[in-house]
A and B are shown apart, each in its own frame.
Chain A
Amino acid sequence: MLIINCPWCGDRPEIEFRYGGEAHIARPADPATLSDEEWAEFLYNRTNPKGRHAERWRHIHGCGRFFNAVRDTVSDFFVATYKPGEPRPDLKETQP
């Protein structure tokens, strides 16, 4: 069972958390100005990378707060977690 570092609470087992999809996809400020294609891009299209993936998690059975994480989809291990609003950490692929 993975240990996930909640930026507010610290290390906790993964059963306390819930996945929330890809991170850094902001809801457009004025959706009405978007074309159907642009809206569909926001609504449905995700990167689904093999390797480092920035994603949203929520400490649902803890503080209840959302945060962002970089997880390696190959190893399943978390590389970093950070608070919403903070930029995605600039990590070299070789960093553990």
Chain B
Amino acid sequence: MSGSFRTPVGGRIDRLNPVSFSFDGHFYRGFKGDTLASALLANGVHLIGRSFKYHRPRGVISAGSDEPNALVDVSRGGGRTTPNLRATQVELYEGLAAESQNRWPSLSFDAGAMNDLAAPFLPAGFYYKTFMWPAGAWKRFYEPKIRAMAGLGRAPVEADPDRYTQHYAHSDVLVVGSGPAGLAAALAAAASGAKVILVDEQAELGGSLLAETEATIEGKPAKDWLADTVAALAARDNVTLMTRTTAFGYFPHNMIALAERVTEHLPNPAATLPRERLWQVRAKEVVLATGALERPLVFPDNDRPGVMLADAGRTYLNRYGVQPGRRAVVFTACDAGYRAALDLAAGGVTIAAIADLRAAPKGELPARALAAGIDVRPGTAVVGTKGRLRVSAAELAKLRGEAAHGLGPVERIACDVVLMSGGFTPSVHLFSQSRGKLAYDPALQCYVPGASVERERSTGACRGIYGLTAVLEDGYAKGEAAAHAAGGGPVPARELTAEATDTGTDGFIGATPHPRNPAFAKAFVDWQNDVTSKDIKLATREGFRSIEHVKRYTTTGMATDQGKTSNMNALGIVSEALKTPVPQIGLTTFRPPFTPTTFGIFAGAARGDLFDPVRTTPIHGWAAERGAAFEDVAMWKRAHYFPKGGEDMHAAVARECRAVRTNVGIFDASTLGKIEIVGPDAAEFMNRIYTNAWSKLEPGRLRYGVMLREDGFVTDDGVIGRMAPDRFHVTTTTGGAPRVLAMMEDYLQTEWPDLKVWLTSTTEQWAVIAVQGPKAREVLAPLVEGIDISKEAMPHMSVREGRICGAPTRLFRVSFTGELGFEVNVPAEYGRAVWEQIYAEGERHGICPYGTETMHVLRAEKGYIIVGQETDGTATPDDVGLGWAVGKAKKDFVGKRSLARAAMSAPDRKQLVGVLTTDPNVVLEEGAQIVADPEAPVPVPMLGHVTSSYHSAVLGRSIALAVVKGGRARIGSKLVVPMPDRAIEIEITDPIFYDPKGERLDA
């Protein structure tokens, strides 16, 4: 049948540019300007997919973005695979390769179609009701089977090779939709001189005018008026026209998100072009001209390929030069069905009959149909269709009186296409997203925009205005008003008079009557989710009243089409079943996106290396060259350990630990958070923020500071140097720096604005080189200038300023290892050079670079806590053995009042202790629970948990830190760590395992 449904002339396709493409491996020909759907229909292919639940054969229903059925997978190879594309929107290009979805082994013979026979057992909510027995079968059997069968399309497995870009734009007036209303609005706004952006999701501007063959506007055929108007708008500097661009989201304060498909329609896209662009447009005023969607009619077997919306059939003929079939039956509740019938008849399609739900259709179009000799049957319904993979006949029956719903005898009429029209539903998606209130219009039987929340106006069919002249006038007026509100100049008057046949505003919502057994008839409301009128009635019988609940129970309106074709009919059915008017049932909420949007467009450039910023220290390159293994700490890459000659982590860490304890180690501590606190009130500020007392700390001295939240729990700690009476060098934990600075700023700005203090983040300004071990002083001594680093002149916890290797330094004598230690602060740009010189000097003393793992083991051997590891946001200073750091004499500091609560000093609080396993070779798991008796009745009382656990090379055994209820009183007692396979005996000890007197610190 190849090519046989293409008309000899007509349509907007480019007949000089034939295009070949494939569908399910079969090759076909179409023309440039076709969509995949129009090209397949031109080749007589109506069977395009299988349905989601019952695997019923499905065809094309619509001609636009509302398509629920004809979903295809388009691949270009190399990871360029997109599932669930609507064939009605896929533009044809040479070599396009599309495949149908949801079928196995083939589209015409699909094994899943047995679900259709099993349909009585798969009602709405069947997954809540079945699969309940036997217990345990869900995980082993039902879930894997359902997972394999469920889902629409298949996600590609390869990485997406394409580029997606993100842009911002501003406009005075943004017009969404380029049908007659949108074009008129853009004309008016453009004439005012305002900056205008006009967007449309289709390849061409024009909307409904693209399928218009009869109407005239301003005395010109609609086609010519459209071309002239687009040319006039394009010629203006203040107008931007965007096609293939979907306004998919309406966000607060007129932020409209646009998805522009840049290369999807090109056979060989240039590598320089992104595949899609995300536009975030901030518009002073928005004009929504999003049109209306034709409603299907809900009758039995209305899903057979060949059943389509009447206006879609007309669009295929007028715009694409494709006959949707040879012989059509039209089922309508409004005059639009007649307009389609007349156009198709003129295009060579036989109209076998028009079944009109209305008893006495009036108006120009029905009269013209009668005059054309078409078999018009008022008061008649289509009550079923016949055919296997394509409709072969429609069954008609006369309605006997509106109330009785009795039906006359069924007559079968042969046809290969059924066109249906239940009237039009305004597309209020974006308006609703803008949180504007919808109002029910009983005359139109639909929701229309009510009160706006944003600076926005709806115009044309999307607010229930039909009739070409009225639409154009409304569009022009709304464009003018928007331009005026946005500060544009005067707009000249323009009479946009059109000559067009009015299709009126009749329509039908709900399910149409039929004589079949309702238990077996399938009249689809939502094609994409296979929801029938029976399912919705069942939901109401089972007690669902709110449309939001009916939606979730039946899944109507929940698939990728977001109920564009189904919402109003579902409402109509619920309304009739509950005998409640539609407005009292409500309407489900429209949410972005309007149509499915790629993940790529949201990710933009934030992929791979750019996904998340990586922070590296000035010494990172040195460590990388040495083959260090790195770990992520907050956003930092930190050297984890430095393996030598095939060592594993365990061996490397053991060697590094021994080197620090016996000789000297060098460690990159640059990631420590640093804050410079300066000002006449700096010491007072420190007094209020930290638990410690600062007033008496002399310049040149260091102090370990603890910071609480107002609720009394430890939030950060660090060593702080007093550089001058009015200047502190504060260090914080690596991950805590931004949080600490934010908390300090908060108190300074909002609670104590009278304090003269300034806070500056200096984390990245200082490189910090820790030199730790008994030989640390010998390594540094020859390198420093102007600082006496002797034991007497520079005791533990002191700071000196001078030079090292020629660079200015703040030299801290401080230790997080328990050994004699220094932390060399130098400006970041000197970091690597100073590091390399210290390392070179240290080589004579056996210096060893070590990473964060060794740092952790060494500090755990000393019982030094890490905030966030030993603390969990519920630890007081005393809980973790830092009671000594709380300035008892201070009147106030952040968190002090909370520490005075009785519960904060209860004896059974979890306290920091050491843990030694009876078997020294067992290393406990961090996070493991600690109990007294694992055999106690469930729930076993849990006393605490392991917070840090390592193998200590120096001690030759495992060590651990833990928080245990009343832990300090339990020192010396035996407890148990229960694990899935065994119970591990432990002893509670003091948390300091190595050099408990701290003599090595003062070496």
- A60 to chain B: which residues have CB within 8 Å? 742
Whether the pair A31, B896 counts as a contact (CB closer than 8 A) is yes
Whether the pair A84, B711 counts as a contact (CB closer than 8 A) is no
Alpha-carbon distance between A19 and B891 when the two chains are bound, in angstroms: 30
- A20 to chain B: which residues have CB within 8 Å? 746
- B711 to chain A: which residues have CB within 8 Å? 43
Say whether A52 faces chain B, with CB atoms less than 8 Å apart. Answer: no
Distance in Å from the Cβ of B179 to the closest Cβ of chain A? 28
Whether the pair A39, B897 counts as a contact (CB closer than 8 A) is yes
Q: A22-46 vs B: 1/0 string, CB under 8 Å?
A: 0000110011101010010001000
Interface size class of A (residues with CB under 8 A): 20 to 34
Alpha-carbon distance between A39 and B892 when the two chains are bound, in angstroms: 14
Say whether B252 faces chain A, with CB atoms less than 8 Å apart. Answer: yes
Say whether A64 faces chain B, with CB atoms less than 8 Å apart. Answer: yes
Whether the pair A56, B900 counts as a contact (CB closer than 8 A) is no
The total of interchain contacts (Cβ-Cβ below 8 angstroms) comes to 50
Say whether B435 faces chain A, with CB atoms less than 8 Å apart. Answer: yes
Say whether B546 faces chain A, with CB atoms less than 8 Å apart. Answer: no
- B751 to chain A: which residues have CB within 8 Å? 26-27
Whether the pair B892, A32 counts as a contact (CB closer than 8 A) is yes
Query: Please, which residue of chain B has its CB at the minimum distance from the CB of A39?
Result: B897
Whether the pair A66, B892 counts as a contact (CB closer than 8 A) is no
Q: A63-81 vs B: 1/0 string, CB under 8 Å?
A: 0111000000001110000
- A64 to chain B: which residues have CB within 8 Å? 745
What secondary structure prevails in chain A residues at the interface with B? Answer: loop
Given A43-B711, A64-B745, also A75-B435 (CB < 8 A): yes
Query: Please, which residue of chain A has its CB at the minimum distance from the CB of B747?
Result: A27
Whether the pair B891, A75 counts as a contact (CB closer than 8 A) is no
Partner of B750, one of A2, A3, A31, A66: A66
Say whether B125 faces chain A, with CB atoms less than 8 Å apart. Answer: no
Alpha-carbon distance between A56 and B746 when the two chains are bound, in angstroms: 10
Whether the pair B892, A1 counts as a contact (CB closer than 8 A) is no
Whether the pair B900, A32 counts as a contact (CB closer than 8 A) is yes
Partner of B252, one of A2, A27, A66: A2
- A3 to chain B: which residues have CB within 8 Å? 253
- A30 to chain B: which residues have CB within 8 Å? 891-892
Say whether B255 faces chain A, with CB atoms less than 8 Å apart. Answer: yes
Whether the pair B753, A39 counts as a contact (CB closer than 8 A) is no
Say whether A87 faces chain B, with CB atoms less than 8 Å apart. Answer: no
- A1 to chain B: which residues have CB within 8 Å? 251-253, 255, 280
Give residues 104-132 of B contacting A (CB, 8 Å).
Answer: none
Query: Please, which residue of chain B has its CB at the minimum distance from the CB of A14?
Result: B252
Say whether A10 faces chain B, with CB atoms less than 8 Å apart. Answer: no
Residue of A27, A43, A60 ringed by the most chain B CB atoms within 10 A: A27
Partner of B749, one of A2, A65, A77: A65
- A76 to chain B: which residues have CB within 8 Å? 252
Alpha-carbon distance between A64 and B759 when the two chains are bound, in angstroms: 11
Distance in Å from the Cβ of B904 to the closest Cβ of chain A? 11
Whether the pair B897, A34 counts as a contact (CB closer than 8 A) is yes
Alpha-carbon distance between A64 and B711 when the two chains are bound, in angstroms: 25
Partner of A36, one of B280, B453, B750, B901: B901
Partner of A84, one of B742, B750, B900, B901: B750
Query: Please, which residue of chain B has its CB at the minimum distance from the CB of A68?
Result: B750
Given A84-B749, A84-B753, also A32-B252 (CB < 8 A): no
Say whether B898 faces chain A, with CB atoms less than 8 Å apart. Answer: yes
Whether the pair B898, A39 counts as a contact (CB closer than 8 A) is yes
Say whether A85 faces chain B, with CB atoms less than 8 Å apart. Answer: yes
- B253 to chain A: which residues have CB within 8 Å? 1-3
Whether the pair A66, B901 counts as a contact (CB closer than 8 A) is no
Say whether B499 faces chain A, with CB atoms less than 8 Å apart. Answer: no
Given A39-B898, A66-B746, A75-B453, also A85-B753 (CB < 8 A): yes
Alpha-carbon distance between A27 and B892 when the two chains are bound, in angstroms: 12
Say whether B395 faces chain A, with CB atoms less than 8 Å apart. Answer: no
Say whether B684 faces chain A, with CB atoms less than 8 Å apart. Answer: no
Alpha-carbon distance between A30 and B896 when the two chains are bound, in angstroms: 11
Say whether B710 faces chain A, with CB atoms less than 8 Å apart. Answer: yes
Residue of B253, B435, B753 ringed by the most chain A CB atoms within 10 A: B253
A-B contact pairs, 5 of them (CB 8 A): A27-B751, A30-B892, A32-B897, A36-B901, A64-B745
Chain B residues engaging chain A, CB cutoff 8 angstroms: 251-253, 255, 280, 435, 453, 710-711, 742, 745-746, 749-751, 753, 891-892, 896-898, 900-902
| 14 new A-B contacts at CB < 8 Å, known A20-B746, A32-B897 | A1-B251, A1-B255, A27-B751, A30-B892, A31-B892, A32-B900, A34-B897, A39-B897, A39-B898, A43-B711, A43-B898, A64-B745, A66-B749, A84-B753
6 tightest CB-CB pairs across the interface, nearest first? A31-B897, A1-B255, A3-B253, A66-B749, A2-B252, A27-B751
